[in-house]
């Protein structure tokens, strides 16, 4: 029963983000990722983990880049690694706290991680993801 409530509470978030392009997130293409994510929630994926994963996934097919320790990475590659890191290091935290603690500075050099926009502007990745997370219609 609890899983059904979680599924029902996240459905509006996924649909709103998909159809409205919430925040600066690139438009969500199709339902396959959303459907897969909802299926994982039904089978026990933590809802806060799902929020982080969804915000990250929304950038997957975009032209953004991640700047990590002075090197630019294609978003798909960078977020693939970030999602692996998320799966290894998520321990039930609230999504906002996890993003603040894990997606601000690199683990190797301690430098701020940036999201580089297609127009060349950069902002700290943490700040952008937190804004996107806060705009999810909960």
Query: What's the pLDDT at 77?
Result: 86
* 19, HSE (Cβ side, Cα atoms, 13 Å): 7
How confident is the model at residue 104, as a pLDDT?
Answer: 94
Q: Which two tokens stand for residue 56?
A: 């990250």
| pLDDT score of 120 | 95
Counting as low any pLDDT under 70, the low residues of the chain are 1-44, 137-138
Residue among 125, 126, 120, 136 nearest 54 (CA):
136
Q: Can you give the pLDDT at residue 50?
A: 85
Question: What is the structure's pLDDT at 130?
Answer: 95
The pLDDT score that the predictor gives to residue 24 is 44
pTM: 0.70
Q: How many domains does the chain have?
A: 1
Residue 16 belongs to domain spanning? 2-134
Helices and strands (DSSP H and E) totals, the chain = 6, 4
Tallying the residues shown for the chain, one arrives at 138
pLDDT of 99 reads 95
């Amino acid at each position: 029963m609890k899983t059904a409530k979680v599924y029902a509470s996240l459905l509006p978030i996924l649909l709103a983000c998909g159809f409205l392009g919430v925040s600066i997130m690139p438009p969500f293409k199709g339902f396959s990722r959303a459907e897969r994510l909802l299926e994982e929630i039904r089978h026990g994926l933590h809802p806060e983990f799902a929020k982080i994963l969804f915000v990250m996934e929304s950038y997957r097919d975009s032209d953004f880049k991640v700047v990590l320790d002075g090197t630019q990475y294609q978003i798909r590659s960078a977020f693939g690694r970030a999602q692996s890191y998320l799966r290894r290091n998520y321990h039930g935290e609230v999504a906002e706290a996890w993003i603040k603690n894990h997606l601000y500075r690199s683990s190797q050099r301690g430098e701020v991680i940036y999201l580089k926009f297609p127009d060349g502007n950069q902002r700290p990745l943490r700040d952008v993801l937190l804004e996107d997370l806060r705009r999810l219609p909960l």
